[in-house]
Structure formats: C-alpha cells, structure tokens
C-alpha cells in the first residue's frame, strides 16, 4: 500500500477555510485517495475520495496534484464541530473489498 | 448513508473474563466486516476481516484464539475478547462495506470502549 504523510496537527479559525495537506508520493496508478475524519471517541466518518480529478461534495473539496503525489482536503468554512483527526489514506484492496489503512492523521483544531 | 451500530458502547470488566462486542449493519447486508483497535492517541489498527459464513482473516500479530470473531449473518459480526487483561483495554471499532451503490466507502460503527480492571 502507498504510504501517506500528514502534518501532526493544524489549527484554523472558525469560518475560515481549513486546508489539510497529504503526501502520497508512492501512490500507484489505480489507487484512490480517501479522506476520513474521527471526532473524539467516535468511529471514523467518510468525507471524500478521488483518483485524479478534483472532487467536491457537501462536506469538502479534494484537490489532487497532477502527478498525484500529494493532495489537499479543503473544508471551505470550518466550524467548531469540524475539530477532529483527519486521515488521508490510500486504499488497500482485499478480495474486491476496500480496507482503509489508517496512518496517524492530522489533528485539526478549529477555534472561535 | 448506511448505518453500522455497535453494542455495548462501553464496557468495564474484570481481568480474566470474556467480553463480547456486537457489530450490526442496520439497513444493509454486509458479507464483509472489519474490526479495528485503537489505543489512546493512536491510529486505528486493523485486527481482522470478518467474512459471513467463513473464518475470519487476522492481521499479523493478532491472536485469533484471544479475539474470537463470528460473522453468523449478513447483518451481524461479533468480536469476543477472551480472558481479557488490562492491556486489552482499548477502543474497538467495526466497519462494513462496500455497498453496490457506495462501492468506495466503508461505514464505521461508533466504537466500543473496553476497560479491563
């Protein structure tokens, strides 16, 4: 599996955009980039995923560089409830199912 | 999105006892479920893959005789921590998926906090 590298922690002011970077320089051509987040003492929550193109949904935007070696998750208007650990992962495939393998993630703190 | 539940949400037990944790997919059928363990301030570590109607597949270093997994139906997988010890205290999380219409997603349960005294 491709390995990912994320900053340990970041902070952001409420209402501002939070930009969370992720490096995945060894990603292979058929591997997707996924983002999950985990609020304290809860299970992870899916945010978004992408292969090559930039993606946007109701939660966030995902910007993937042209060489696919890095990506950025953007929370356009961060709220206090976005405080969580954000995991950037590359999928591991097992018999047709996709198993997220989690690194350490980035602890995002959104402050008033 | 699909919902995965876990029961109990937290459990405290004495050393040497066994504890069973349930993982249910509430509105979909899951032939495959996954069990993770998370220690404080650490990331999730995959323990095993639970397959309906067959034996679970354990990750390296996870004792299959200590962490018994049963996936008896398409909506229920159980993890039993046998002869629990304080070092087994952790946050246990299950996930299920993918689904046909959400083929790229895993749906996670809310987790079970196990404390072994």
What chain B residue is nearest to A107 in terms of C-alpha separation? B41
**b vs e for A82-102, b when ≥16 Cβ sit within 10 Å of the residue's Cβ?**
bbbbbbbbbbeeeeebbbbbb
Residue A1: what pLDDT? 60
Q: Does B98 score more than 80 pLDDT? A: no
Q: What is the DSSP string of A15-43?
A: TS-EEEEEE-TT--TTPPEEEEEE-TTS-
**Partner residue facing A98 (CB), from B44, B45, B98:** B98
Q: Does A101 score more than 80 pLDDT? A: no
Question: Alpha helices of chain A — where are they, by DSSP H?
Answer: none
- C-alpha closest to that of A3 among A94, A70, A97, A73: A70
Q: Does A46 contact B106 at a Cβ distance shorter than 8 Å?
A: yes
Q: Does B108 contact A45 at a Cβ distance shorter than 8 Å?
A: yes
Mean pLDDT across A66-80: 97
Q: Does B108 contact A44 at a Cβ distance shorter than 8 Å?
A: yes
Tens of pLDDT, residue by residue over B30-56, are: 888 999 999 988 999 999 998 888 889
- Percentage of residues of chain A with pLDDT beyond 90: 68
- Percentage of residues of chain A with pLDDT beyond 70: 91
Report d(CA A92, CA B1) in Å as an integer.
Answer: 22
Mean pLDDT across A44-65: 93
Tens of pLDDT, residue by residue over A17-26, are: 999 999 999 9
* Best mutation target, B4, B103, B108, to test chain A (most A CBs within 10 A): B108
Mean pLDDT score of chain B? 90
Residue A67: what pLDDT? 95
In this structure, what token pair is assigned to residue B88?
A: 């087994």
Q: Does B95 score more than 70 pLDDT? A: yes
């Amino acid at each position: 599996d491709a390995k990912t590298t994320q900053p340990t922690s970041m902070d952001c002011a409420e209402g501002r955009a939070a930009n969370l970077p992720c490096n995945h320089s060894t990603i292979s051509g058929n591997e997707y980039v996924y983002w999950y987040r985990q609020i304290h003492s809860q299970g992870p929550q899916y945010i978004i995923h992408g292969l090559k193109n930039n993606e946007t949904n109701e939660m966030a935007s995902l910007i993937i560089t042209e060489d696919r070696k890095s990506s950025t998750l953007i929370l356009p208007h961060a709220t206090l409830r976005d405080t969580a650990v954000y995991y950037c992962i590359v999928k591991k495939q097992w018999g047709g199912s996709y198993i997220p393998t989690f690194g350490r993630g980035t602890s995002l703190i959104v402050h008033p | 999105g699909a919902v995965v539940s876990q029961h109990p949400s937290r459990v405290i037990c004495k050393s040497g006892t066994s504890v069973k944790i349930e993982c249910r997919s509430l509105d979909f059928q899951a032939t495959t479920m996954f069990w993770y363990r998370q220690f404080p301030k650490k990331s999730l570590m995959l323990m095993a893959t639970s397959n309906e109607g067959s034996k679970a597949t354990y990750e390296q270093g996870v004792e299959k005789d200590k962490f018994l997994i049963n996936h008896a139906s398409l909506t229920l997988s159980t993890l039993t921590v046998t002869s629990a010890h304080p070092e087994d205290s952790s946050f246990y999380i299950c996930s299920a998926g993918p689904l046909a219409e959400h083929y790229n997603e895993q749906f996670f349960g809310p987790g079970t906090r196990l404390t072994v005294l």
